[in-house]
Amino acid sequence: MRVADLGCGTGDLTLELHQKLAARETLGIDESEAMLAKAPQAAGLRFERCDIARWAPAAGFDLVFSNAALHWLPDHSSLLQRLTGALLPSGQLAVQMPMNDEHPSHQTAFELARSHEFRRLLGGFERRPPMPEPYRYAAWLQHLGYARQHVRLQIYGHLLQDREQVVEWVRGALLTDYQKRLAPADWERFLQRYRQLLIPQLADERPYFYTYPRLLFWAAKN
């Protein structure tokens, strides 16, 4: 197989994918130079720095794979069309994306960013659009001509020490781009206000069970 891994990060999962599939060639794509600097080396494995939002090679891949990356991109209908164009006639698409927009941990961040004070400081920036419902992906895959597909929403449960750990979880993921766009003092105020708004919405349990839905889909062209 010839495989592409979009949003490969440090490439650890890319190497595992390459080895498990015994692929002829696996290409890891990521925009972060710091991440790619940590990428492993193996025969047939290579990495390329590129914005996956602009990645549009000619058809030539047996598998386009992406784990926890494509949810940052807009317009998934066009995105799937572009990724389909990178596949050979017998190609496959396999994707996993976090889908936790409805949880208070995410809704609180969205609402705070839209508040008068922070919308001004962020210049109207919003981290990303809401994720489409799973049924839309099934319809898009059908319209793109995939002969087989499997689309599902899987609920993963994470046992955290307490509800305060939800703030730390989101701080290292959804909130990172807000931090980049705010001055240090404004960011500290944003984070403090986020904590004040979120914590009362979460059950005071130890451990805290943090549910995290993820959308997984696979499709084959024949």
Q: For the chain (length 222 residues), average pLDDT per consecutive 10?
A: 97 97 97 95 96 90 96 93 96 96 94 94 84 96 98 97 96 91 96 97 97 97 94
Are 3 and 63 a contacting pair, CB within 8 Å? yes
Can you tell me the distance from the alpha carbon of 179 to that of 191, in angstroms, rounded to the nearest whole number?
Answer: 9
Are 217 and 152 a contacting pair, CB within 8 Å? yes
Kindly state whether residue 39 falls inside one of the protein's structural domains.
Answer: no
**Exposure string for 175-212, b = 16+ CB within 10 A, e = fewer:** bebbeebbeeebbeebbeebeebbbeebeeeeebebee
Kindly state whether residue 62 falls inside one of the protein's structural domains.
Answer: yes
Kindly state whether residue 2 falls inside one of the protein's structural domains.
Answer: no
Can you tell me the distance from the alpha carbon of 183 to that of 110, in angstroms, rounded to the nearest whole number?
Answer: 19
Determine the 3-state secondary structure of 137 from DSSP. Answer: helix
Strand order in the sheet with 45-49: 45-49, 25-30, 2-6, 61-67, 87-98, 208-220, 148-160
Kindly state whether residue 147 falls inside one of the protein's structural domains.
Answer: yes
pLDDT of residue 222: 93
Please give the model's pTM, rounded to 2 decimal places: 0.90
pLDDT of residue 147: 97
pLDDT of residue 30: 97
pLDDT of residue 130: 78
In terms of Cβ atoms closer than 10 Å to its own Cβ (0-12, 13-18, 19+), residue 116 is exposed
Please count the other Cβ atoms lying within 10 Å of the Cβ belonging to residue 121. Answer: 18
- Number of separate domains in the chain: 1
Host domain of residue 182: 56-220
pLDDT of residue 127: 76
Can you tell me the distance from the alpha carbon of 158 to that of 209, in angstroms, rounded to the nearest whole number?
Answer: 6
**Beta pairing partners, 101:** none
Kindly state whether residue 48 falls inside one of the protein's structural domains.
Answer: no
**End-to-end Cα distance, the chain:** 15
pLDDT of residue 217: 98
Can you tell me the distance from the alpha carbon of 171 to that of 164, in angstroms, rounded to the nearest whole number?
Answer: 11
**Residue found by looking up tokens 């020490």 in the block:** 161
Kindly state whether residue 201 falls inside one of the protein's structural domains.
Answer: yes
Of 71, 55, 80, 76, whose CA–CA distance to 173 is shortest? 71
Kindly state whether residue 63 falls inside one of the protein's structural domains.
Answer: yes
The CATH number assigned to the domain holding 148 equals 3.40.50.150
Can you tell me the distance from the alpha carbon of 8 to that of 66, in angstroms, rounded to the nearest whole number?
Answer: 8
